[in-house]
């Protein structure tokens, strides 16, 4: 479980592609201890397991299922990903509850810069509209954000300068794809009502 408040990023150092899975080698200033090997880390929103690390190089295993559902299959050397460690009991919680289970991928349709902040329109299949409400929570590449507006073919997000500074969202361009996770509470409520 995460909260989508990103304070660390990592750079893809190497990708070992196999038939049905990837091994990602990521360079980051995030600190790990030996007891954290095997723990879950949100990598641009996808929950992955740390297999090993040597100083600032971390290795993650990516399964076939994760590759099929996320933008990880599109990553290349030099790309920047958002990183977040799981929540600890008693830790201050900001953002919202994030599982690291990607529900969909979405495409950047339009970016509007407003001073140091920006509005981004994302294109998303209409079948996902049921999981979104205006001012509701949504996770983009692991970042906890608020939906500013529901659009006919997607949704709009407003991103403040502080979030842009700390995450890979600042590098987004039109037609880029992102990982999307809808609010877990909304998903469960929808399920029970159905």
- For residues 146 and 79, membership in a common domain is answered with no
Question: Residue 128 belongs to a domain with what CATH number?
Answer: 2.40.30.20
Q: Which residue, 84, 113, 141, sits at the end of a domain?
A: 84
DSSP H helix total and E strand total for the chain: 3, 12
Residue 93 resides in a domain = no
Residue 159 resides in a domain = yes
- For residues 118 and 171, membership in a common domain is answered with yes
Helix (H, G, I), strand (E, B) or coil at 166: helix
Residue 33 resides in a domain = yes
Burial class for 67, CB neighbours closer than 10 Å (0-12, 13-18, 19+): middle
- For residues 136 and 79, membership in a common domain is answered with no
0.95 surpassed by pTM: no
pLDDT class of 194 with cuts at 50, 70, 90? low
- For residues 74 and 125, membership in a common domain is answered with no
Structural domain for 124, as ranges: 104-193
Q: Which residue, 25, 56, 84, sits at the end of a domain?
A: 84
What is the rounded CA–CA span in Å between residue 128 and residue 122? Answer: 12
Residue 92 resides in a domain = no
Q: What is the pLDDT of residues 53-84, one digit of tens each?
A: 888 999 999 999 999 999 999 999 999 999 99
What's the total number of domains in the chain? 2
Q: What is the pLDDT of residues 107-137, one digit of tens each?
A: 999 999 999 999 999 999 999 999 999 999 9
């Amino acid at each position: 479980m995460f909260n989508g408040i990103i304070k660390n990023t990592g750079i893809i150092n190497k990708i070992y592609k196999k038939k049905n899975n990837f091994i990602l080698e990521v360079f980051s200033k995030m600190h790990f201890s030996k007891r954290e090997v095997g723990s879950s880390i949100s990598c641009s929103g996808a929950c992955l397991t740390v297999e090993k690390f040597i100083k600032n190089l971390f290795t993650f295993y990516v399964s076939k299922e994760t590759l099929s559902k996320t933008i990880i299959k599109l990553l290349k050397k030099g790309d920047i990903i958002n990183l977040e460690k799981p929540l600890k009991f008693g830790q201050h919680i900001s953002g919202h509850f994030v599982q690291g289970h990607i529900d969909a991928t979405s495409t950047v349709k339009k970016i509007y810069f407003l001073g140091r902040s920006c509005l981004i329109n994302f294109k998303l299949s209409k079948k996902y509209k049921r999981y979104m409400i205006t001012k509701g929570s949504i996770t983009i590449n692991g970042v906890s954000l608020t939906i500013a507006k529901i659009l006919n073919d997607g949704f709009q997000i407003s991103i403040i300068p502080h979030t842009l500074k700390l995450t890979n969202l600042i590098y987004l361009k039109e037609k880029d794809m992102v990982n999307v996770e809808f609010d877990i509470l909304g998903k469960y409520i929808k399920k029970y009502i159905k």
